[in-house]
Structure 1
Amino acid sequence: MSKRTIKKIAIIGSGIMGSGIACHFANIGVDVLLLDIIPRELNDAEKAKNLTLEDKSVRNRIVNNSLTTALKSSPSPIYHQKFASRITTGNTEDDIAKVANVDWIMEVVIERLDIKKQVFEKLEKYRTPGTLITSNTSGIPIKFMSEGRSDDFQKHFCGTHFFNPARYLKLFEIIPGPHTSTEVLNFLNSYGEQFLGKTSVVAKDTPAFIGNRIGIFSIMSLFHTVKEMDLTIEEVDKLTGPVIGRPKSATFRTVDVVGLDTLVHVANGIAENCKNDEQLSLFKLPNFINTMVENKWLGSKTGQGFYKKTKKDDGTSEILSLDLNTLEYRSVKKANFATLELTKTIDNVADRFKVLVSGTDKAGEFYRKSFASLFAYVTNRIPEITDDLYKIDDAMKAGFGWEHGPFQIWDAIGVEKGIDIMKLEGLAPASWVQDMLASGNKSFYTVKEGATFAYDIQKKKQEKVPGQDAFIILNNIRKPNEVWKNSGVVIEDLGDGILNCEFQSKMNTIGGDVLAGLNKAVDLAEKNFQGLIIGNQGANFSVGANIGMIFMMAVEQEYDELNAAIKYFQDTMMRMRYSSIPTISAPHGMSLGGACELSMHADKVVAAAETYIGLVEFGVGVIPGGAGSKEMALRASDMFRKDDVELNTLREYFLSIAMAKVSTSAYEAFDLGILQKGKDIIVVNKDRQIATAKAHAKLIAEAGYTQPLKRTDVKVLGKQALGMFLVGTDAMQNSKYISKHDQKIADKLAYVMAGGDLSEPTLVTEQYLLDLEREAFLSLCTERKTLERIQHMLKKGKPLRN
């Protein structure tokens, strides 16, 4: 069998979904041909230019406008704006023949079967036999779409359902048609995971597939519970958000973002096509939803939904929420529940579920009701929508952003306890759950031999969940492979002579315990191992240094202790750089401040594509003090070229810090000078990150890693650079672009990066720059305005401009 590769894809339909998918294929280096229909008439701007319907710009207007809108949207669908050059646009009349030269054709047109069938008929005339052809439908049965098509078409045809936005949501559902070949399914399953960075789930051809069938049930069930229990939308969003490992947008804000019309469309589809669903009545829309749809209160797209943003008389904006009884907007009410207070000290979300369902207040009652109906519902969907329970959990985590799937939540509560809760609600699980308990299996999942096993309903025993071999899942190996731990880190043996240092502090902040753990990890690796990875699988790599600790020392004026703490941080970063073993940082998500400094001092960075990294210390009134300011000066020095305007290079690095720039993807971090071309690499699937980092650590070690020599040749420009920076900050302050305190911080940074006020360019040591950096950081910690900024960040979670 020949090896299948995807070099070029044609995407038919350039709406929000089509353009989003096109951008994500461009993200991973695939050439994209994006086609849409031609306009039927000229718009006013085209008439003013005397254009005709035959002009190319007119014929491609729909596709070009759609792509331009997508590229301007926030959050961006593309890792780097320059990647948009990988997308070629066209229309389905002039350019349809070009599909003969692609490896994959994907249809993303309107959700109407008649239109989809017309598109496939047209495509088949030009499609080269053997080419993959798929539909990104969210609910139309795949079997109807391929009716009447050739055998080759049907063999290579299936559904490939991305969730919106395609870049950020990880679920990739693959839905076979009646004649889809096994080779095609296997290829798409591995391609989705390895190249697109998705969680691939093969689903059955049932209405709404897996993710939307369970997700929409969950939301519709809540709509009915809200009325039944007389809850407000704020209360439901409080109960269904981060406290149970769901996105901040929880339920009603999520519906506003997705669009109520989209939700209603899928819910109606399930209601019409799933007549045997035991919970069919829940898919019937409550009256308040019908009224909202009639009023066009569809969410963000129409300016109001469950929430509405308005301007007050004083010009400030206010968020209002909908009262579901009166259907009038009112000021948002704060929601509080005693049961939620009990979970505040429980950091691990899975450990909260037992507490939540035991609550004696309205919150406890809500959780018992909603989990009971969810548990009963998912058990009855097997084998209807899938034969494997883990696929339901995978779909909910990857498609709806849940930290735990329904069966994982049930395991956390206890299977028998879950059944008891159902009984109180007049519900019961499918019979296979009782069979599972009778066979001696007391949970849906177990972890053994470093892997996750899930209960297999046909075999009546736990089977290893497939597809784990490409991953290292720290939760699965932590206990048996633990080498050392303290309150801030766990050090694990990944095998093959590679150690991993995993942060476990709150939000993975870097304080004294984490620094001690990092030093211990280097000690252990130098003594008995080949290499060290700094990696974790938390929501974010790390939000940076523990500023609470810095604030306490500064307020108490314990400057000697603060100086020692900063030096300890700097020394630890230098230890990462100058150890006798290779060090690899594996950042993902937020990797800010000290976490960015740590990555810049590793021998190599293996970053997840979704890494938001930057030196953000200006936001709390200081400069990077963990060797970050030194490192930017050093990197600028390494970029100086003969006859180059050295000041321009230095200024770019200075601005990265002074503007607290944060990359919106790992690819942008190369532009900021944080990641380095030819050295650092990017992994699209975060699940593969630790395994990839391990492979690189091993490779570097076995290629004969030599301990680097400390740098004594960093070129600093002295007065020449300092003068330029000071003139610039003065002009910006006079023009009111920055405050007096911003100017003070920028001037301190300028002094460090210029190497002080030396009379001429000079070669200095790294330690010289580290001392300047520490002195500047310490002096800023004595400033009242800096302390106000730190305090504001600690209280409000956002920067203060003072």
Structure 2
Amino acid sequence: MNRNIKKVAVLGSGVMGSRIACHFANIGLEVLLLDIVPRELLPAEEAKGLTLESPVVRNRIVNQSLDTAIKSNPAPLFSKSFASRISTGNFDDDMHKIAQADWVIEVVVERLDIKQSVFEKVEQHRKPGTLITSNTSGIPIHLMAEGRSEDFKAHFCGTHFFNPPRYLQLLEIIPTPHTNKEVVDFLMEYGDKMLGKTVVLCKDTPAFIGNRVGVYSMLAVTHLVEKLDLKVEEVDKFTGPAMGHPKSATFRTADVVGLDTLVNVAKGLEQNAPNDEAKGVFILPDFITKMVENKWLGEKTKKGFYEKVKDDKGNSEILSLDLKTLTYGKQEKVKSSTLDATKQVEDIRKRMKVYEQGTDKAATLFRAMHYPLFEYVSNRVPEITDDFFRIDDAMRAGFGWELGPFEVWDALGVKETIEKIKQEEKRLPGQTGEVAQWVHDMLAAGCESFYKVENGVRQYYDIASKSYKAIPGTEDLIVLDNIRASKTIWKNSGVSIIDLGDGIINCEFHTKMNTIGGDVIQGLNKAIDLAEKEYRGLVISNDGKNFSAGANIGMIFMMAVEQDYDELNMAVKMFQDTSMRLRYSAIPVVAAPFQLALGGGCEFSMHADFVQLHAETYMGLVEFGVGVIPGGGGSKEFALRASDDFRPDQIDQNFLKDRFLTIGQAKVSTSAVEAFELGYLQEGKYAITMNRARLLADAKAKALEMANEGYVQPARRKDIKVLGNQGLGIVYVGASSMEAGHYISEHDKKISEKLGWVMCGGDLAQPTEVDEQYLLDMERRAFVELCAERKTLERIQAMLTTGKPLRN
């Protein structure tokens, strides 16, 4: 059937419920958020003469929860204005409103009896065919639907979002034996394309997939600590980014999640997974039991594996817990020759091999963690899933691993690792060193890896057919890793130009943090040359962690220190000229940014014909932080956009002020939506992709669409109205008053005046129309002049050495 979701009802407004409601509001839906009616008045309510029948009291719990969510950091909404899409109410007065909902999501407390009573009320009001799902993380899904109608059961399943729902990509779908296949298929596709999730189909087994494997992995480390004589800070150093895991690693993650939550899941697995051969891993070590008894639960109690304190001088310091004495002390500096070796290896798969082959404690932990993990996940198939790739998907999307366990196993070599698993001395409770038979069968069938790439499509080993198949749902994705080797048509040290097919090419950056230097500038110009001669359109994107952190300020610093201002002027001009080529080439250019798109990365996006960006794009012109103004066309572009904003019946200076402050305050968007609100994106010239995995395919489709519609090379702008002295007066007075009030430094004032000079077109007696090159020349001159300032060099040096802005 053709199902359309317009309105969603979320039952339960706690941490998860309120944030799930916010994420549905993010994608434009109308949301009804309900919770229980309070049983007692607050003192403040009594003082106002309110009663338990007062509407403001009856909706107090839900309204307070939503308000807390909206104010929380990181923000659950793309824009605070989206809160207007959420209406609130309570179970007693407003449950009848779910009759208008197309999807009802239950997110109440984790008690089966309470969930069943809520579903009994739901059935009294829902219309037939309405989707009903539960966000439980531990209660068997099939038990919740007992006693419900056939229509209810057919449209009911589990939808387990991970917290926070906006940011963590995992969404587990858990059908029951009664769930219609059409419902499952719809939720899998909707979660992927509309909610932007990595959607994983799970069986109705304890903790499903993500928490089953994730909690096993975390608790496995706690059992290895004593065996390997490891300190808390050592474990987190060894199991963090070097291993392809988040910075929070193991114990810091436990503090963030809360030890009580971790313990609840562990105890549930110990009790409810009796046939799990490694269930002994879920039995808590003594130090965790004692920490829970002491209420050292992590961030929520200000104490966990770490404690933040202040020293005698009032400076904050983070202490770590000694797991033997259960006392807090100063963290020791962690050294490891293996970690030093991994720093030289950018490719995560190659880094795994280097990590495994080390000889120190870090490598010993790596092996003692991974060999039992490989055994464990192989034995979970087909218990928790028939397809092992879903375990990898869950660990990447839910726990932030760069590689899932089977992908790490592939990187180490499947066959050679099996013997190492047998020989591993640091065995975990219940584990034998024997992997599941299906892995041996795979090797016997001549299949030497769990995954392979064929014709640009990633395939997985299908256990049932003993052959490779394309991973479902990925056939229409474009993954540069899969096509780079065969489709690269040109490359240098910073860029690869890759043929995406259908006449569209992609320019991929692969410098550190995808910063922009001479190699990237050369690559972009080469990509435009090739596209104009032989292709139909150009996309700018990559598979890195960030689109671009901006210009290579180390290169700028060297030129400025050596006072090679002619060379610096030429470098800035090349940057500006490249931005202008993106704007005025003969072919459509689509930028596809994601995550950080700062400085030059923002400027290139602003000059593209169209921006197809991921919902989580943090875009901004941040050059003030290093003592300069945007020099790659960004200052010019904001002057141009301010000019386009001017209205005959309104004050021009107000529009100029808004644009000026966005740069002057180095505002960075917290979402793609906010990037538009800040003026980095233009109406009709951008679109948002919710799922990062689909971004490149969407960008290619847009470039192809523009080419097919008959793209026309735009004419250069000569009609930019600048205000001259009318605008400069406001800029100078504002900067002087900010300095006098000690809000900005003397150097900030100087940078502000330089930016104002450019955006106002200089010392002009009256408003004047100028062309883009006039403003670009002013922008470049101001940039180079600021680079000659000692305080600018201090700022650049501080950013290079500490990664933090210096306010001098």
TM-score, scaled relative to structure 1: 0.99
| Residues in 1 aligned to 2:790 and 2:229: alpha-carbon distance in whole angstroms | 48
Distance 1:416 1:558 in 2: 57
- Structure 2 distance, partners of 1:665, 1:334, is 36
Query: Which residue is 1:138 aligned to?
Result: 137
Aligned counterpart, 1:444: 450
Following the alignment from structure 1 to structure 2, what is the Cα–Cα distance between the partners of residues 726 and 795?
32
- The equivalent residue for 1:750 is 756
Letter in 2 for 1:248: K
Provide the rounded CA distance (Å) in 1 between the counterparts of 2:475 and 2:440: 31
What residue number does 1:787 align with?
793
Whole-Å separation in 2 of the counterparts to 1:638 and 1:472: 36
Deviation at 1:469, TM superposition (A): 2.6
Once the two structures are superposed, residues 369-395 of structure 1 have per-residue CA deviations (whole angstroms, 9 ceiling, x without a partner) of 101011111000000000111100000
Counterpart of 1:335 in structure 2 is 334
User: CA–CA distance in 1 between the matches of 2:706 and 2:802?
Assistant: 43
Return the offset for 1:521. 0.2
Between the aligned partners of 1:735 and 1:688, the Cα distance in structure 2 is 48
Find the counterpart in structure 1 of residue 768 from structure 2.
762
Q: Does 1:529 align with 2:529?
A: no
Specify the SS of the correspondent of 2:497.
Answer: strand
2:554 counterpart of 1:554:
no
How far did residue 154 of structure 1 move?
0.7
Q: Alpha-carbon deviations, 1:681-719, whole Å to 9, x = none? A: 111111111111111111111111111111111111111
* SS state at 1:452 partner: strand
Aligned to 2:58: 59
Report how far residue 245 of structure 1 moved.
1.8
- State the SS of the aligned residue for 1:275: coil
Q: CA deviation at 1:476?
A: 1.1
Residue by residue over 1:741-760, the C-alpha shift from the partner in whole angstroms, topping out at 9 and shown as x without a partner, is: 11111111111111111111
Match status 1:799 vs 2:798: no
Give structure 1 stretches of 5+ with no counterpart: none
Deviation of the 1:626 alpha carbon:
0.6
| Alignment partners' CA distance in 2, 1:418 and 1:617 | 49
1:503-652 counterparts in 2 under 5 A?
A: 503-652=509-658
Residue 359 of structure 1 and its aligned partner are, at CA, apart by 0.4
How far did 1:428 drift? 2.0
Structure 1 ranges of 4+ moved more than 3 A = none
The residue aligned with 1:224 is 223
Q: Which residue of 2 aligns with 1:105?
A: 104
Residue 114 of structure 1 deviates from its aligned partner by 1.0
CA distance, structure 2, for counterparts of residue 229 and residue 321 of structure 1: 18
Give the counterpart letter for 1:129 in structure 2.
P
- State the Cα RMSD in Å: 0.9
Offset of residue 619 of structure 1? 0.7
Give the superposition deviation at 1:421: 2.3
Q: Output the amino acid matched with 1:59.
A: R
1:714 is the counterpart of 2:720: yes
Q: Which range moves more in the overlay, 19-28 or 305-314?
A: 305-314
The separation in 2 between residues aligned to 1:159 and 1:437, in whole angstroms, is 35
> For 2:739, which of 733, 738, 742 is the aligned residue?
733
Within 1, Cα distance between the matches of 2:243 and 2:133? 35
How far apart are the structure 1 equivalents of 2:240 and 2:588? 40
Aligned length: 801
Mapping for residues 172-321 of structure 1, pairs under 5 Å: 172-321=171-320
2:417 match: 418
- Write the letter of the residue equivalent to 1:717: L
Query: 1:176 Cα shift?
Result: 0.7
Q: Tell me whether 68-77 or 114-123 shows the greater mean CA deviation.
A: 114-123
- Relative to 1, partners in 2 of residues 1:470 and 1:49: Cα closer, same or farther, differing over 3 Å? farther
Range with bigger deviation, 423-432 or 751-760: 423-432
Aligned match of 2:428: none
Offset, 1:473:
1.2
2:463 match: 457
Taking the aligned partners of 2:796 and 2:423, their CA distance within structure 1 comes to 49
Identity %: 63
Partner-residue secondary structure (3-state), 2:92:
coil
Question: Is 1:166 matched up with 2:172?
Answer: no
Mapped to 1, the partners of 2:201 and 2:142 lie a distance apart of 15
- Secondary structure, aligned partner of 1:552: helix
Q: Hey, what's the Cα distance between the residues in 2 that align with 1:240 and 1:421? A: 20
AA of the residue aligned to 1:711: R
Show structure 2 runs of 5+ residues with no match: 426-432
The residue type equivalent to 2:556 in the other structure is: I
Q: Which residue in 1 is equivalent to 2:30?
A: 31
- Provide the C-alpha distance between the structure 1 equivalents of 2:364 and 2:344, rounded to a whole number of angstroms: 21
Does residue 466 (structure 1) correspond to residue 472 (structure 2)? The answer is: yes
Give per-residue Cα distances to partners, 1:7-44, cap 9 Å, x unaligned.
01111000000011000000001111100001000011
Deviation at 1:292, TM superposition (A): 1.1
1:685 aligned partner, one-letter code: N
CA apart distance, 1:121: 1.1
Deviation per residue, 1:535-571 (Å, 9 max, x gap)? 1121110101111111111112111111111111011
Cα distance per residue 1:29-75 (max 9 Å; x no partner): 11111000010000111011010000000000000010000001000
The equivalent residue for 2:8 is 9
The residue number in structure 2 matching 1:699 is 705
Please state whether the residue corresponding to 2:138 is helix, strand or coil: coil
Give distance in 1, aligned partners of 2:324 and 2:743.
48
- Could you tell me how far apart the structure 1 residues matched to 2:688 and 2:229 are? 48
Could you tell me which amino acid in structure 2 is paired with residue 299 of structure 1? G
Q: Distance in 2 between matches of 1:363 and 1:343?
A: 11
| 2:384 aligned partner | 385
Question: Please, which of 665, 674, 687 is the counterpart of residue 681 of structure 1?
Answer: 687
Amino acid paired to 2:229: D
- Pick which of 120-129 and 585-594 moved more: 120-129
Give the equivalent residue in structure 1 for 2:155.
156
Q: Which amino acid aligns with 1:153?
A: F
Q: Deviations over 1:562-610 (max 9, x none)?
A: 1111111011000100100010100000110000000000000001000
Corresponding residue SS for 1:351: helix
In structure 1, C-alpha distance between the alignment counterparts of 2:187 and 2:439, rounded to whole Å:
32
Give 1:345 deviation, angstroms. Answer: 1.5
Letter in 2 for 1:414: G
Aligned partner letter, 1:184: V
Instruction: Report Cα offsets for 1:431-483 as digits up to 9, x if no partner.
Output: 11111111111111000111111011111111111101332111111122111
Write the letter of the residue equivalent to 1:236. Answer: V
Cα deviation code 1:178-201 (max 9, x no counterpart):
200101000000000010000111
What residue number does 1:88 align with? Answer: 87
Residue-by-residue CA offset, 1:472-496 (whole Å, 9 max, x unaligned): 1111111221111111111111111
Q: Which amino acid aligns with 2:140?
A: P
Q: Deviations over 1:508-558 (max 9, x none)?
A: 111100110000000000001111000112111010111111111111211
- TM-score calculated relative to the size of structure 2: 0.98
Q: Deviations over 1:618-642 (max 9, x none)?
A: 1111110111001100110111111
For residues 635 and 345 of structure 1, the distance between their equivalents in structure 2, rounded to whole angstroms, comes to 44
1:105-130 C-alpha deviation (Å, 9 max, x unpaired): 11001111111111111111111111
The offset of 1:778, in angstroms, is 0.5
Find the aligned partners of 2:420 and 2:64 in 1 and give their Cα distance. 52
Q: Which piece of structure 1 moves more, 221-230 or 20-29?
A: 221-230
Cα deviation for residue 402 of structure 1 reads 0.7
| Higher alpha-carbon deviation: 414-423 or 369-378 | 414-423
Residue 236 of structure 1 deviates from its aligned partner by: 0.9
Instruction: Give 1:296 deviation, angstroms.
Output: 1.2
Residue 311 of structure 1 and its aligned partner are, at CA, apart by 2.0
